Copies of this chain bind each other. A is one copy, B any other.
Amino acid sequence: MQPADIKNVKITDEFWSRKQALVKKEVIPYQWEILNDRIPEAEASYCMHNFKAAGLLNEKMRKKGDAFEAPRFTYRGFAVFPEKREDAKDDEFYGFVFQDSDLYKWIEAVGYSLMTNPDPVLEETADHAIDIVCAAQLPNGYLDTYYIINGMDKSFSDLRDHHELYCLGHLIEGAVAYYLATGKDKLLKAAERYADHVASLFGNGEGKINGYPGHEIAEMALFALYDLTGEERYKALAEYFIDERGKEPNYFEKEHPDMKGKPDYYHQAHMPVREQTEAVGHAVRAVYLYSGMADMARLTGDKSLLDACEKLFESIVDTKMYITGGIGATHLGESFSLPYDLPNDTAYSETCAAIGLVFFAERMLRIKADSKYADVMELALYNTVLSGMALDGKSFFYVNPLEVIPENCKKDERKTHVKPVRQKWFGCACCPPNIARLISSLGRYIFTEDDTTLYTHLYAGCETTKTVNGKNVSVSMQSGFPNTGNVRITVTGAAGSDFTLALRVPGWTGGRYSLNMTGASEKETKNGYIYLTGFEDEAAIEISFDMIPRLISADTRVAEDNFKAAVTRGPVVYCMEGVDNGENLRQIKIDKRGTITEEVSDEFGYDVVTLKASAKRIIPAKTDFKPFGGLYSEFTSVEEKEISLRLIPYYLWANRGENEMSVYINI
């Protein structure tokens, strides 16, 4: 099974097109300014500086003294190359060791965006950025400006903490996207050369490096490069990284002898990957690894690896995932915490980790169409991923808490990672470009396909075609998601073919949906998918999924959520905000037998379904008897005030200024 060819999926969906347009209009241009250090109030990126500096040095090495003249042109009225930074020297590297990856992520987002929204000026800008990248590449294929500038003698000497293989991964992902979008292969060839160079150095032979990435991503990127090129050597290199990880003697311990004997959970290098059953360590790293493992399991049919993937997926979903699809409960190491430890107010739940969970789930779907994977993919996407970006596309959450009391976040040192409103941009700029590339590439998450079957995982309006038994089948989907559960799909040209359409029944429907169709018939329902076959030349399918609002409670072992419930509607998790309901949200108790009504609001710039629930605000009766100082009073009774509780989708929180927010409500 493969994802549908992204170039062949045209998004027509109102909800998602709006997000994609926002990425194109706001995120991509803003990030370009950032990469070029043209936003005075933002932290300096130096990313383009580093490539330019590396190119200069590289050129000097090659031409023995000739100056490297970087191409100059303008984009949106700005010179692509800024005036030389006052503080930046031509031969110095600045920023994080993984600074290069910021440009690669930008190029990836640009690539996917160009597929849906062609833009010759943006494409030209990206072409020139690619020229700069390629000028920095060493003749042997090496491409990481940190070591090119600081000296190659230490290259690949710190796989654990430095990010050369991470940058390789993002380079490949950017190059693949840009090639798919434009057919231009300059960056793709550069990526292949870098991958070939790495492949020549790594392995178990004499004088080879038998390590693997400290921050995973190269694995899944190399499999994507293999999927595109069919070159076995990329698959082999990715497999090598996965097979070696966590083996004894531990490679990272060799690099860092001070860590000897301490299991390296953080980098998922505590044991061989096939033995791993619990999701641990840095959450983004973890799900990037698991995505690569799933790719390998799919391509090799390796049963033990597939077992590990399934166990790790279950470990996340059954014990370590917030109801928002967020993962990574603790800011300490941006990591998974222990099972059932899912604090709401000190949550980490990094946007990038939710994105990584989407990657992992999508890869599991390529192995098996089981709605349990699509449910999680959808949950992460509609909640934590979308929460990461403001409505105006100009500010972002890195951390996605499930409860916020703004004053506490600001003053309590244990919550300094939690921000009550989205921030402009970050020094470590992983989340905004990660959102940009995911939203721009949404077309690859809607379907997977095999020879005859188109599996529909996400209900987002789009058009695609598929060739079955030599017939060109056109599929057009209209979807009311997430406002309504109504989906209409038309299929034309499938008559006489084996074309099969598999429609996911989301877990949140509880199996409640209505299906009507003409020109096709229901064959079976399996693993959460309805299989339709027997298509006539024109077929119309209407399926309506039940989106009744529901009260959802967490497993009682999640101590933080005892006596609380969250409200969900379809795939969307709701929250309450102070601006609607008054502050001190912890005083609110939802009527557990009350009905929850829907209202369509245009307050957020487009139609959004908000909810009203009957609830009480409960305030302990004031007593003057304070036996132990001003803080403590004898409890006598509570004053209960009926209120109408307004709930909005979680992904929209903090778009109306700073205020309290909580997903969980007392029951």
Q: Which residues of B contact A619 (CB under 8 A)?
A: 556
**Number of residues from A at the complex interface, CB < 8 A:** 67
Is there a chain B Cβ closer than 8 Å to A576's Cβ?
no
The answer on a CB contact under 8 Å between B330 and A631 is: no
Is there a chain B Cβ closer than 8 Å to A192's Cβ?
no
Is there a chain B Cβ closer than 8 Å to A308's Cβ?
no
Q: Give per-residue flags for A400-425: 1 if the beta carbon is below 8 A from chain B beta carbons, else 0.
A: 00000101100111100000000000
Within 8 A of B (CB), among A525-576: 550-556, 558-559, 562-563, 565-566, 568
Is there a chain B Cβ closer than 8 Å to A319's Cβ?
yes
Q: Which residues of B contact A637 (CB under 8 A)?
A: 592
Q: Which residues of B contact A321 (CB under 8 A)?
A: 628-629, 631
Q: Which residues of B contact A667 (CB under 8 A)?
A: 635
CB distance from A556 to the nearest CB of B (A): 6
Given the interface pairs A330-B414, A555-B631, A618-B563, the reply to whether A507 lies near B550 with Cβ below 8 Å is: no
CA distance A337 to B411 in the complex (A): 8
Q: Give per-residue flags for A320-338: 1 if the beta carbon is below 8 A from chain B beta carbons, else 0.
A: 0101010000101100011
Q: Which residues of B contact A375 (CB under 8 A)?
A: 627-629
Is there a chain B Cβ closer than 8 Å to A630's Cβ?
yes
CB distance from A104 to the nearest CB of B (A): 32
Is there a chain B Cβ closer than 8 Å to A477's Cβ?
no
CA distance A627 to B424 in the complex (A): 34
Is there a chain B Cβ closer than 8 Å to A25's Cβ?
no
CA distance A552 to B554 in the complex (A): 28
Given the interface pairs A414-B332, A563-B618, the reply to whether A552 lies near B630 with Cβ below 8 Å is: no
Q: Which residues of B contact A337 (CB under 8 A)?
A: 411-413
Q: Give per-residue flags for A332-370: 1 if the beta carbon is below 8 A from chain B beta carbons, else 0.
A: 110001101100001000000000000000000000000
Is there a chain B Cβ closer than 8 Å to A510's Cβ?
yes
CA distance A555 to B619 in the complex (A): 10
The answer on a CB contact under 8 Å between A346 and B414 is: yes
Given the interface pairs A332-B413, A412-B341, the reply to whether A318 lies near B552 with Cβ below 8 Å is: no
The answer on a CB contact under 8 Å between B314 and A630 is: yes
Q: Which residues of B contact A559 (CB under 8 A)?
A: 405, 408, 586
CA distance A408 to B332 in the complex (A): 15
Within 8 A of B (CB), among A638-667: 666-667
CA distance A589 to B562 in the complex (A): 11
The answer on a CB contact under 8 Å between B632 and A552 is: yes
Q: Which residues of B contact A510 (CB under 8 A)?
A: 625, 627, 634
The answer on a CB contact under 8 Å between B632 and A554 is: yes
Instruction: Give which listed residue, B340, B411, B558, contacts A338 with CB less than 8 A.
Output: B411
The answer on a CB contact under 8 Å between B508 and A587 is: no
The answer on a CB contact under 8 Å between B563 and A627 is: no
Q: Which residues of B contact A584 (CB under 8 A)?
A: 556
CA distance A566 to B332 in the complex (A): 31
The answer on a CB contact under 8 Å between B629 and A568 is: no
Is there a chain B Cβ closer than 8 Å to A633's Cβ?
yes
Q: Which residues of B contact A437 (CB under 8 A)?
A: none
Is there a chain B Cβ closer than 8 Å to A18's Cβ?
no
18 contacts between A and B (CB under 8 A): A323-B632, A330-B413, A332-B414, A338-B411, A346-B414, A375-B629, A379-B628, A507-B626, A508-B628, A509-B627, A510-B627, A552-B633, A552-B634, A553-B633, A553-B634, A556-B584, A563-B563, A566-B632
Closest 9 CB pairs of A and B: A318-B630, A317-B629, A508-B627, A551-B635, A553-B635, A338-B411, A562-B586, A332-B413, A565-B635
- Known A319-B631, A551-B634, A568-B628; 20 more pairs at CB < 8 Å: A317-B629, A318-B629, A319-B630, A323-B632, A325-B628, A333-B413, A338-B408, A338-B411, A341-B411, A341-B412, A376-B629, A507-B628, A550-B627, A554-B631, A556-B619, A558-B631, A562-B666, A563-B586, A563-B589, A563-B618
